[in-house]
Amino acid sequence: MRLPAGLGVLCLALCCLGGARELWSGDHEWKKLIMVHHWPMTVCNEVANNCEHPPDYWTIHGLWPDKSGECNRSWPFNPDEIKGLLPDMRLYWPDVLHSSPNHSVHFWRHEWEKHGTCAAQLDALNSQRKYFGKTLDLYKELALNSTLQKLGIKPSISYYQISDIKHALVGVYGVVPKVQCLPPKSGEKVQTLGQIELCLTRDLQLQDCPEPGEPAPQRREAGPGGTPILGLEICEDGPVFYPPPKETNH
> Which one of the listed residues 28, 38, 110, 111 is annotated catalytic?
111
Residue of 28, 38, 98, 115 with catalytic role: 115
Other CB atoms within 10 Å distance of the CB of residue 62: 23
List, as own/partner pairs, every contact residues 158-165 make where C-beta atoms lie below 8 angstroms and the sequence separation is at least 24, other chains included.
Answer: 159/190, 159/239, 159/240, 159/241, 160/193, 160/239, 160/240, 160/242, 161/237, 161/238, 161/239, 161/240, 162/235, 162/236, 162/237, 162/238, 162/239, 162/240, 163/237, 165/193, 165/240
Catalytic residue among 38, 61, 98, 110: 61
Active site includes 61? yes
Half-sphere exposure of 182 (CA within 13 A, CB side): 25
- Answer yes or no: 38 catalytic: no
**Residue 46 a catalytic site member:** no
Q: How many angstroms separate the first and last alpha carbons of the chain?
A: 80
Q: In angstroms, rounded to a whole number, what is the distance separating the alpha carbons of residues 108 and 115?
A: 10
Catalytic residues: 61, 111, 115
